[in-house]
Amino acid sequence: MIMKKLKFIPLACMVFMISMLAIGCSNSINSDNESEGEAKTRTVKTIKGDVEVPANPKRIVVNFYQGDLLALGVKPIATEKAEGEVAFKNELDDVATIDKWEPEEVMALDPDLLIVTSEEDYEKLNKIAPTILIPFGEFSTEERVTLLGDAVGKQEEAKKVLDNFSKKVEDSKDKLDKAGVMDKTFTLLESHSGKTWIYGNKYGRGGEIFYDYLDLKAPAVIEKEIIDADQYREISLEALSEYCGDYVINSTWGGKDTLSDNDVWNNTTAVKEGRVIKTSAELYFYVDIYSMDVQLDNFVDAILATTDK
């Protein structure tokens, strides 16, 4: 009887071990099946209709909104060439640049998602990989960042980025209000190659930050001729004083100031009272949320510095 029990123990162990192996294999198979069952694509609603994109795109090519992607924690594999001291310059050191955006050039990168800003690029490239068209200027920052979050599977990150930027804007407005500058007028001026342009709340140069987010005021002539007309325009040097408000943001390409020797410019109130803020056009060209976050800090610090004098 004792011998029978001793013989039975190894047999029982063996049965137990076989059972556990079977369970383990079953779990492994189930796990594999679950992985295989995970969605490999997602559907994103765009102005071109529903676009099926990879659930987790890894090879993204974008031709303007690289800063938005960086803010979401996503680095593209290729983008347009961004010259000068742009806000995200160091973030793109190892990212390829595309010159002509021709199909052969883009196809060679083997992208799994394309993000473009023009109808022309969309038509040329959408057969290469799933393509999201986001026309420049037709989406608000909130709409654009939310759409990009959907496209690259970073919906929660998009919400967080937008919430953080909104809070920074409110904090900035509070600082400017306490400094007594919210009732001042601001002019966004760009000068290079002997020409001078005035910008409104579109086309970068800080316009969205000043007029849309910080709710700062433009001179009446700029409000009427430029902001209400959704455009920017070249003005003559003789008309400078008419367009210059209490503050002037003077952006230049390549750092060369073409106004410093002009008598009309030097006799404006902003120049005489030390309320000219010089900036590089390269830094303020982009309107992605990564760039605007940096621009906002720079602008507010520069404005507050004039009130300490």
Sequence-distant (≥ 6) Cβ neighbours of residue 167 within 8 angstroms = none
Mean pLDDT of the chain, nearest integer: 86
* pLDDT for 34 beyond 80: no
pLDDT digits (tens, 9 = 90+) for 212-261: 999 999 999 999 999 988 888 999 989 999 999 999 999 888 666 778 88
DSSP H stretches of helix in 61-184: 66-71, 103-107, 119-125, 141-152, 155-178
Residues 182 and 205: their CA atoms lie apart, in Å, by: 19
Distance CA(54)–CA(176), nearest Å, equals 44
What pLDDT, in 10s, does the model give residues 106-143? 999 999 999 999 999 999 999 999 999 999 888 999 99
For the record, the structure tokens of 286 come out as 């982009």
